[in-house]
Structure 1
Amino acid sequence: MTKISNKIVSILIPCVMLMVSCSNNKSGEESSKAVLDTISLSNKNFALAYQDGSKIVATSIDTMKQISFGGATDPAISPDGNKLAYTVNDTAGHRTIWVADMENKSQLQLQVNSGNYYQAVWSPSGNAIAFNIFNSKNLWKIGIIKTDNTGYVMLDSASKINVYAPTWKNEKELISQDLVNLYTFDISGKLIDTKPIASLIGKDFTIASSNRFFYTKDGQKLIFNAGNTDVLDGLTGPSEGVYILDLASKKVNRISPKGTNVPYVFVTGDDRIFYSGSEKPYTQNKIYVSDLSGNSKLLVDKGTNPTGALK
């Protein structure tokens, strides 16, 4: 079973700028810059980022080389493994997305003129980031911005629908859902396709705003997590699992094993499926990686919300 290495380099999120508690700052002093020790991060080959309690961990796939961030959530590692996007919650209740370059140690906040945007998702090329954003009409929308803080656009900004859990279908298209329909947008914000979710996956699943849908690289399959009808003794609330839909045959197969509650899934551009789930007694989540056939491997003994870089 994979264990987490003790070889961790801590990055402290800057307290003054972000107004968050920096649990890793042992001196108690506030800092206006990120603090990273002098060990070079070159050639660390970061491949996975995940949540571990109140911190984010970025690690190599064998978990032997790691860094950790305090005071941040929603980790999203870039496809090349060199950058990490994350959400910061400040004392005023704002959520904002920041991006850290793990090699040159720089950090920047994505500037989108909002106090509530979170859950970054990198484009396949790593040149842009999509995210959920709460707009002035009190609706959830999708925002896109380039990683140099240019080209910001809010998709479908004029409609009255909420959309959740954005993911990239390819470099020019994104998908999201509103609990009932699965939407496809192009990067200019145009709605180009709407499909009822039940017509795709059937009526045996329940959808929450956090459930995400990913197309495979060839566009022929759809990977998603959703609530199911499993009755798991000792689990409070509905159970969730990870599934794969063959769009041609309409057949849905289960990826995560029965008896495991899986509230989170992420799929890389090379079709590896990362997910976090817990088994009875459902008190500790573990992180797994699977191929499209459901062959799963345990990666981390304790963690949630994994995202992976390309191989």
Structure 2
Amino acid sequence: MTKFNTYLAALLIPCLALFAACNSNNKATEKPTAMLDTISLSAKNFGLAYQDGNKIVATSIDTLKQISFGGATNPAISPDGNKLAYTVLDSAEHRTIWVADMENKSQSQLKVNNDNYYQAVWSPSGNAIAFNIFNDKKLWKVGIIKTDNTGFIILDNESKINVYSPTWKNETQLVAHDLVNLYTFDISGKLVETKSIIDLIGKEFSLSSSNRFFYSKDGKKLIFNAGNTDIMDGLTGPSEAVYILDLASKKVERISPKGMNVPYVFLTADDRIFYSGAEKPFTENKIYVADLSGNIKTVVDKGTNPTGALK
């Protein structure tokens, strides 16, 4: 088990502040971009990104090499580990997604004509980014943009369906849910499949908009986190855990241990399950990685919202 300590802190190189500004709603609004706490990033192998208080951290899996960004949330590391997408909240409460190239230190905002989009997720190849976006009809939808900052579209934009927490099913399809149904969209924006969540996982789970569903690489399993009926003294709200549904047998197995609350889960394109969870007194989250068989390893002793790159 790895702990962050003064040895690791000494590895961080003094801060280089990167600044930018952009327009929102045709008004010049200064946006605080993330502050990158390093100068030289070459020859570093980043495999994990996560939230640590009011900053996000990109690190090697062994946590011996790391950089951090202040003023950012919702970290999403690219599959190759070279880029980091994150959400920036400005003084007018606008949420936008930025992407940092961790080798040349550049930062740029995604070219999306909107001021409320967040929670980036990279496609398996790293060629596109999906995210939740609040459209002009005041509905939550899924947006997609190529990583060269072209080709922005909103999926199923004309329907009256709210959808939350998008993830990639494969390179050409995404999934999102509305607490009742799990929807599959293709990247052209077409709704191709609707499945009842109760029919998939049963009635014993409760969902929030932040819960996410991931298909395994072979499409045979569904990995998700959801509320359950566990009673945990000292926990406000329902307890959540990580589960795997075998789509053929319809059997649901719990991955995270009992006694732990798990509000966040992420599946890499090579089927590693990263999640953050807390045990009593539920004040400090750790980050874990598991395989589809349920073998679990602690990765970070303090952190939330992990995302992983490919090995």
Normalising by the smaller structure, the TM-score range is over 0.9
Q: Distance in 1 between matches of 2:185 and 2:285?
A: 33
**Structure 1 counterpart of 2:79:** 79
The residue aligned with 1:20 is: 32
Pairwise CA distance, 1:13: 5.0
Q: Distance in 1 between matches of 2:63 and 2:175?
A: 31
Question: Is 1:271–2:275 an aligned residue pair?
Answer: no
Distance between the aligned counterparts of 2:271 and 2:242, measured in 1?
14
Are positions 1:102 and 2:83 aligned together?
A: no
Cα-to-partner distance string for 1:177-225 (whole Å, 9 max, x where unaligned): 0000000000000000000000000000001000000000000000000
Quote how far apart the aligned CAs of 1:112 are.
1.0
Q: Which moved more, 1:248-257 or 1:8-17?
A: 8-17
Report deviation, 1:8: 2.3
Instruction: Give the 3-state SS of the residue equivalent to 1:8 in structure 2.
Output: coil
- Give the corresponding residue for 2:27: none
Contact 2:12 2:37 in 1 (8 A): no
Task: Tell me if the contact between 1:288 and 1:299 (Cα under 8 Å) persists in the aligned partners.
Answer: yes
For residue 176 of structure 1, what is the aligned residue in structure 2?
Answer: 176
3-state SS of 2:200 partner: helix
Q: State the percentage of identical aligned residues.
A: 75
Aligned to 2:26: none
Structure 1: unaligned runs, 5 residues or longer = 25-34
- Distance (Å, rounded) in 2 between the aligned partners of 1:81 and 1:286: 21
Q: Give the distance between the partners of 2:33 and 2:78, measured in 1 at CA.
A: 25
Q: Which amino acid aligns with 1:161?
A: I
Tell me the distance in 1 between the aligned counterparts of 2:33 and 2:194: 42
Amino acid at match of 1:125: S
State the partner residue of 2:12: 8
| Aligned residue pair count | 299
After TM superposition, give the deviation of residue 20 of structure 1 in Å.
Answer: 3.0
Q: For 1:148 and 1:117, how far apart are their aligned partners in 2? A: 18
Instruction: Please say if residues 141 and 156 of structure 2, whose CA atoms lie closer than 8 Å, have aligned partners that are also in contact.
Output: yes
1:81-103 Cα deviation digits (max 9, x unpaired): 00000000000010000000000
Task: Calculate the aligned-residue CA RMSD, in Å.
Answer: 1.4
Which runs of structure 1 show a deviation greater than 4 angstroms over 4 or more consecutive aligned residues?
15-18
Letter in 1 for 2:31: M
CA distance in structure 1 between the partners assigned to 2:156 and 2:33 by the alignment: 35
- SS of equivalent residue, structure 1 residue 266: strand
Structure 1 counterpart of 2:272, one-letter code: R
| Structure 1 residue aligned with 2:162 | 162
Structure 2 residues not aligned, in runs of 5+: 23-29
